[in-house]
Amino acid sequence: MPIVHHRRPSFLSYPMWLGARVFLKPALSLWPVNKAGLAGLFLIDRIVAVGPKPRGVVREQLVLAGRPAELIMPVGPSRRDSDTAMLYLHGGAFVVCGLGTHRSISARMARACEVPVFSLEYRQLPKAGVGTSVSDAVDAYAELINERGFRRVVVAGDSAGGFLAAKVVEAVVARGLPTPTALIGFSPLLDMDLGTHPDRSSRSDAYLPKSKMARLAPQFDKGPIPLTGVRRIADADLSEFPPTVLVAAEGEMLEPDVIDLVESLDEAGVLAVAHLYAWQVHAFPVLSSRHPETLDAVEVTATFAAQAVREAKTADERASQRAG
């Protein structure tokens, strides 16, 4: 089965889950979904950005496909392949977070995977809708392949960034670009219309309120670039997907879509696995750097990605030998 359950939570999991349920979920439910309420959320990323910096990496600010980005590379001796990189797309419901809030998870992935990680600050609400966010992500991937010389790119993201990562896979096929080497999602949003589905509930989710997703939904289709292709990732041509590993919390609102996508990928002949963790919160690998489940989630996704990279590199070498 492509579903792996982790049902022995660490002691730290319980207070983290309870704190999110008692304090964060009510706050998110009450936060206004108007222009003023959304506009002020950028301050969260700015505040987090001045906090402690991740260790064991070097960082460089740059521009990727016309958008601010941060390149994070592991320091010290490394076996990393100069032809391989990772594109990381942050979550935040397309309205909040950025390079600062996701610097820690990007650094952990850089160290664990031993590859340079490009973290992208794509356009988002209230200034731009999801179609524009997708366009920024696809353009960033294309630049890594076409202009920066990477032959293999792993695409990763959490929550809303997970949707963007999957849309990159869909879009590059249409553009004739190489498919990403692997897809990694931490509690990925996989259905744009999730908030309006009557068969979905956030009752057991530690902090995501379904009602807030429903109120945000009308703004997702804001321009200037329209959203094209599927709105539900499982409706895409899954045979074109790369090896995929997804992580989610058991009971979170997005869990059913994670299970559905992984099982559908498996049926389509794509290597795919989901790791489901008990007593965790949505996108938990992003929230706590020392949490045992975070360390485990990073390890299992990095191991999966490393295997996908090795197999892709072997396939490239064999193709080169045949051509020679």
Q: What tens digit of pLDDT does each residue of 220-239 get? A: 999 899 999 999 999 999 99
CB-count burial class (<10 Å; 0-12, 13-18, 19+) for 137: buried
- The 3-class SS string of 169-212 reads HHHHHHHCCCCCCEEEEECCCCECCHHHCCCCCCCCCCCCCHHH
The β-bridge partners of 25 are: none
The Cα–Cα gap between 50 and 33 comes to 27
Return the closest-CA partner of residue 133 out of 83, 95, 102, 100: 95
The Cα–Cα gap between 57 and 267 comes to 39
Q: What pLDDT was estimated at residue 214?
A: 86
More confident position, 223 or 120: 120
Could you confirm whether domain 3-323 is CATH 3.90.1150.10?
Answer: no
Q: What pLDDT was estimated at residue 80?
A: 62
Is residue 287 scored above 60 in pLDDT?
Answer: yes
Q: What pLDDT was estimated at residue 198?
A: 82
Return the closest-CA partner of residue 272 out of 242, 234, 307, 232: 242
Q: Using DSSP, state whether 58 is helix, strand or coil.
A: strand
244-249 and 67-74 strand pairing = unpaired
Phi/psi of residue 224, nearest 5 degrees = -80, -15
Place of tokens 């600010």: 61
Identify whether the C-beta of residue 282 lies closer than 8 Å to the C-beta of residue 297: no
Q: How much is the average pLDDT of 262-287?
A: 96
Give the model's confidence band at 197: pLDDT under 50 very low, under 70 low, under 90 confident, else very high: confident
pTM score over 0.85? yes
Give residues with Cβ within 8 angstroms of 301, minimum separation 6: 109, 112, 156, 184, 186, 245, 247, 275
In the chain, the percentage of residues whose pLDDT exceeds 70 is 91
**78-108 per-position pLDDT tens digit:** 556 689 999 999 999 898 888 988 999 999 9
Identify whether the C-beta of residue 167 lies closer than 8 Å to the C-beta of residue 225: no
Please state which of the ranges 179-193, 196-210, 277-291, 310-324 shows the lowest mean pLDDT: 310-324
Identify whether the C-beta of residue 83 lies closer than 8 Å to the C-beta of residue 151: yes
